[in-house]
Structure 1
Amino acid sequence: MAEKDGFKVLKMGFDEDKVIYVKGETLKKLQHVILGMLSDFIEACKDNNINYSLSGGSILGAVRHQGFIPWDDDVDINISRKDFNKLKKVFPQALGDKYNLYAPEDAKGHGMSLAQMKKKGTVYRSFNELDKEDSGITMDLFVVENTPNNAVLRKLHGMLCLAYGYMLTCRKTYEDLPEIKKYVKEGEALKTFEKKAKIGSFLRFMSLDHLTRRTISIYSLCHNDHSKYVTIPSGRKHYFGEMQERDHLLKVKEVPFETIKANIPEDPVPYLLALYGKTYMEVPPVEKREQHPLMALDLGEGEDK
């Protein structure tokens, strides 16, 4: 979501004649669907005493725009490992009639280290999901993990998380590369995908599902729910770039988000500074605004009209 290093390379790498960048009225309709998903999620969390926060660019949107970043096409969530495990238990009854939940440690063929909630009867197919039948409109759920209090152990844990996260990305890219090539032009982005796929080829002795489960087991090694620091290994800045004091990330407050209210960190400034720098309140120029290249989009019954 929002600005990130290297995004321009990825954006320029896709053949714009073969992908969709959602804009205008279609973007407004997509945001309407996602806002409904977020509202349902929040209601389920309140009913089941589950703590959560908006994540990444959704926090930035709440602070800077009191809702979506105007060009944004998704919502991200942060949720502690303890609360995510609780969510998995209540999800079928609380949200299962309208949504599917994909947890990396459970979902076959998921191949990503983040969890996802997808709306049934919709399609939102990105380059991460080219080989999946179920690619519905998605809320990404980033699990907040405990970290060891001992600095040396924390460093070792972080290095393990970085290694396994990268291996998982490479292993999945190896699986996806034939489909990815249909949409990416020759150039730097394609070379990046090919490099990851080559590394992934050396890991093909492990199934994608096995490596995904192994990655999550590494991420969740620390069981101290009172550790001073927590982190989001599956986040865009990974273990060390996403590390925050526990209260800075998990102590929350409710703020306006479009027509509803949603949780963000009680003091979001340390998080926003870590992810976006001192200029996070400045609206970036058009060329630095992130949008996701999509291969297919279907908003579902009644939403396309």
Structure 2
Amino acid sequence: MSNTKELTISEVQHVMWQMVTEAIEFMETNHLHYVLTGGSALGAVRHQGFIPWDDDVDIALPRDEYEWFIREFTSEAPTFKLRNLSTTSEWFYAYSRIVDTETQSEGRWAQMNTGVFIDIFPLDAVPQNGMMRRLVFSAMKGLDVLRNSTRRVAFRTDEKHKWVKQLLTGLTKRVGTATFATMQQQLALSVNRRYANKTNLLDLFVISGLNGARELMTVDAVRTADVATFNGLAVRVPQDVNNYLTELYGDDYMQLPVYAKRKTHATYKKRFNK
């Protein structure tokens, strides 16, 4: 038998920090060009650590180094496992996560299949030409809409186009989340192969459905990254990090958002055997 205990945000961040330090130590030891991205880069700059209410960490590597990492990395903690489409059936994402298998999560609006986690993203080469870039981003966005629709468990009462989304969810659930995640991964691999030697631009392409082109960065911005402090640890963030954060969050990124916009991904619980 087992029971569960809901984790506080501090407890969630404690588990994530164990994952982060182990992953970054491995990356540094093997000279991988990782960078913290998204809210993790913002946390490093604005808070010198976690955003107080944040419940995930984003780490990205160029595609070739990402593929090497997911082949070679094994956590020394018995409950921390690297999960992705290659290791886990019915995986929901076109990227990897290190997850704590002693915990479970419950999303308010979308189904999740991990406990406490940190994200490990590939940075893929994308077209230098703006028209071609918009074309491939649109294809990825479409797949992401379909993938996310399979995970929906609830809809807001005031949600735009609610009935259309409910109908789409009914149809796509028959296909399954992993199918669309696999299609996203295949698209990213194909685009990266095509443009790897033809462009100087990298992007978190597999999640471009979320942020569009706002996380475009050059190869040099990753290879000669800035250094920031995260919980006392020196970490890599995209070169010219202030410009990166302004593009992603706006000119006032150093200001705390109002309480209503301080969002988390899920509720987390730890399992205990009795």
Alignment of 1:68-217 (within 5 A): 68-92=50-74, 95=76, 97-104=78-85, 107-127=88-108, 130=111, 132=113, 135-170=114-149, 172-173=150-151, 177=152, 180-181=153-154, 187-189=157-159, 195-203=164-172, 206-217=175-186
| Mapped contact 1:60–1:272 kept (Cα < 8 A) | yes
Counterpart Cα distance in 2 of 1:293 and 1:192 = 24
| Mapped contact 2:202–2:219 kept (Cα < 8 A) | yes
Counterpart Cα distance in 2 of 1:110 and 1:194 = 27
State the Cα deviation string for residues 198-246 of structure 1 (Å, max 9, x = none): 2243345644333221111112322243522111131574342332333
| Partner in structure 2 of residue 219 of structure 1 | 188
Query: Which residue identity lines up with residue 188 of structure 1 in the other structure?
Result: D
- How far did residue 157 of structure 1 move? 1.5
Counterpart Cα distance in 2 of 1:300 and 1:67 = 29
How does the TM-score come out when normalised to structure 2? Answer: 0.82
What SS does structure 2 have at the residue aligned with 1:139? strand
Counterpart Cα distance in 2 of 1:200 and 1:153 = 29
**Superposition CA RMSD, Å:** 2.9
| Partner in structure 2 of residue 245 of structure 1 | 218
| Partner in structure 1 of residue 253 of structure 2 | 280
**Are the structure 2 counterparts of residues 198 and 112 from structure 1 closer, same or farther at C-alpha, using a change threshold of 3 Å?**
farther
Counterpart Cα distance in 2 of 1:129 and 1:201 = 14
Counterpart Cα distance in 1 of 2:120 and 2:174 = 29
Counterpart Cα distance in 1 of 2:227 and 2:47 = 15
State the identity as a percent.
23
Query: Which residue identity lines up with residue 143 of structure 1 in the other structure?
Result: P
| Partner in structure 2 of residue 44 of structure 1 | 26
**Are the structure 2 counterparts of residues 238 and 71 from structure 1 closer, same or farther at C-alpha, using a change threshold of 3 Å?**
closer
- Unaligned runs of 5+ residues in structure 1 are 1-19
Query: Which residue identity lines up with residue 91 of structure 2 in the other structure?
Result: H
| Mapped contact 1:104–1:112 kept (Cα < 8 A) | yes
Matched, 1:31 2:13: yes
- How far did residue 299 of structure 1 move? 8.0
- Unaligned runs of 5+ residues in structure 2 are 1-5
**Are the structure 2 counterparts of residues 113 and 250 from structure 1 closer, same or farther at C-alpha, using a change threshold of 3 Å?**
farther
| Partner in structure 2 of residue 265 of structure 1 | 238
| Mapped contact 2:104–2:115 kept (Cα < 8 A) | yes
**Are the structure 2 counterparts of residues 152 and 291 from structure 1 closer, same or farther at C-alpha, using a change threshold of 3 Å?**
closer
Query: Which residue identity lines up with residue 104 of structure 2 in the other structure?
Result: V
| Mapped contact 2:48–2:232 kept (Cα < 8 A) | no
Size of the aligned set, in residue pairs, is 264
How does the TM-score come out when normalised to structure 1? Answer: 0.75
| Mapped contact 1:113–1:165 kept (Cα < 8 A) | no
| Mapped contact 1:78–1:142 kept (Cα < 8 A) | yes
